[in-house]
Amino acid sequence: MYAVAFVEDEKCIANKGCRLCILYCPEADTLKFDPVKKKAYVVESRCKGCELCVVVCNNAKHNAITMVMR
């Protein structure tokens, strides 16, 4: 089992322009912007579980990302 990041659509405000997790995730093409839903999402197979996205999202008080076991 691995811990990977998970974005809750209801809490994510990427539709208002937030891109913090997408920019600061150390891995390329892992946290992406869904142009249809206008939310951030995680490509789980690429996520290394570092939790930096959780830190940046929480620091901005959005609290939209949690770690889940897969």
Partner 1 sequence: MGKNNLKICSDLEDIMPPEYRELVASATYGKENRGWKDIGSAKELIEEHSLCAGCPEAIAFRYVLASLPNPEDTVMVGSTGCTSLVFPHVAVHNIHSLFGNQNAVASGLKRALKLRFPDREKDVVVLAGDGATVDIGLDMTLQAWFRQEKFTTICFDNELYANTGGQESGLTQKGFVMKMAPQGKQFNKVRMPEIARESGCAYVAILTVSKPNLVERVLKNAVLIARTIGPTYIQIYTPCILEIGKQSMEGLQEMRDAEGPNDRFAFREFITDEAKAFLADMDEKKKAAAAAKIGTAAPAGVK
**Footprint of ligand SF4 (CB under 6 A):** 5, 7, 12-14, 18-21, 25, 27, 30-31, 40, 42, 47-53, 56-57, 62, 64-65
What are 17's two structure tokens?
A: 């322009």
Residues 9-38 touching partner 1, rule: CB under 8 A, are: 19, 22-29, 31-33, 35
Q: Look up residue 60 and give its amino acid.
A: A
Residue 5 in contact with partner 1, rule: CB under 8 A: no
Q: Is 27 helix (H, G, I), strand (E, B) or coil?
A: coil
Whether the CB-CB separation of 54 and 67 falls below 8 Å is answered with: yes
Residue 67 CB, nearest approach to partner 1 (Å): 10
